[in-house]
Amino acid sequence: MDKLISLSEELAAAVQHAGRAVYAVHGRPRVPSSGVHWRSGLVVTANHTVQTDSDLTVTGPDGRTAPATLVGRDSALDVALLKIDAADRAVADVADSDRVRVGHMVLAVGTGPRASWGVVSAIGGAARRSGTDVFSLDLTLYPGFSGGPLVDVSGFVVGLSTSGAARQLQLAIPANAIGRVVDDLVRHGRVRHAYLGIGTQPVRVPDTTRGAQGEAQRTAVIVVDVQPGSPAAAGLLIGDVILSLDGQAINDPLELRSVLRAERIGQRVRALVLRAGQVIDVELVIGERPGRAR
């Protein structure tokens, strides 16, 4: 019994600690969403809950309501960034979300504060957004919880809760991915996405190629489309099979997208390609995806 009481007290303390930086975001009719004071003067929330670009307000844990301005959005990841007057306002403690494992206990925190307790039930797999492995949650996200923090048992933020993908799915975007979005929006005014400008499909690697390379790689990706003027147009052809990029094996299109991170824009990389039965090296420069291009 003492252990249960101790655990209960720790969870309550975690909610109290996280709640210092949880805001109500008034960006849609009726039910406000939640938001996290991520850095001084910057509040992150779920993009799908911010249905206007102007006349935004937030209400802090002390009950004070203040105006907010939209800095930018990443609709693919479901993140919106707002700017507020940060005088005397507590900022969230953010943890390294790469340390989160399936089975870890977590709390989704909403304004009030309100809380829902559960575990991380899966990471990645079918739950991917914009090339990011998101957390699947075994807990309930109540109305207004989207955009609020997912916290560990110490009250440190490990993700941003969202039900925007589908009402039946309870997800959280990892804190490290949120940090990258915030950096991009603050520095560039937009979220940058790396791309090569190709369409791909998974393909089986021939046994002869695997033997020649001395590797156990069984699948790769075949290029089925090359956009004119794209970074890939300088070196890749339709029918090329991409085995690896900068030494990292590419087994499927998801792995290719995970390698194409925003911080690599402008970098020269070496692609190992199977072309007409021969394995060759192709040098490419990772570009920034323009507009709605894939």
**Is residue 293 domain-resident?**
no
Q: Is 48 a catalytic residue?
A: yes
Of 26, 37, 48, 193, the catalytic one is 48
State residue 268's pLDDT score. Answer: 94
Domains of the chain: total? 2
Is there a single domain that holds both residue 208 and residue 181? no
List 136, 146, 163, 230, catalytic entry: 146
pLDDT at 294: 33
Map residue 157 onto helix, strand or coil: strand
The pLDDT of residue 207 is 77
- Are residues 207 and 179 part of one domain? no
What is the model's pLDDT at position 174? 96
Judgement on whether residues 112 and 206 belong to the same structural domain of the protein = no
User: In terms of residue numbers, what domain contains 236?
Assistant: 194-288
Give yes or no: 26 in active site.
no
Instruction: pLDDT tens for the chain, 294 residues: list them.
Output: 788 899 999 999 999 999 999 999 999 998 999 999 999 999 999 999 999 999 999 999 999 999 999 999 998 889 999 999 987 899 999 999 999 999 999 999 999 999 999 999 999 876 777 668 899 999 999 999 999 999 999 999 999 999 865 556 799 999 999 999 999 899 888 888 888 999 999 999 887 765 545 457 889 999 999 999 999 999 999 999 999 998 889 998 888 888 888 788 999 999 999 999 899 999 999 998 886 433
> For this structure, is 146 an active site residue?
yes
Q: Is residue 46 part of a domain?
A: yes
CATH of the domain at 267: 2.30.42.10
- Single out the residue in 168, 191, 214 at which a domain terminates: 191
The answer to whether residues 229 and 99 belong to one domain is no
Q: What is the residue type of 161?
A: S
Q: Which residues pair with residue 201 across a beta bridge?
A: 222
Residues 29 and 46 in one domain: yes
The pLDDT assigned to 292 comes to: 46
Its pTM stands at: 0.78
Q: What is the 3-state secondary structure (H, E, C) of 200-261?
A: EEEEECCHHHHHHHCCCCCEEEEEEEECCCCHHHHCCCCCCEEEEECCEECCCHHHHHHHCC
Task: Return the residue matching tokens 């110490």.
Answer: 154
Q: Is residue 183 part of a domain?
A: yes
End of a domain among 191, 215, 233?
191
Q: Which of 191, 210, 239 is the last residue of a domain?
A: 191
- Other CB atoms within a 10 A radius of the CB of residue 86 amount to 15
What is the pLDDT, as a whole number, of residue 168?
67
C-alpha–C-alpha distance, residues 114 and 98, integer Å: 26
Measured in residues, the chain has a length of 294
Catalytically annotated residue among 33, 37, 74, 78: 78
Q: Is residue 41 part of a domain?
A: yes
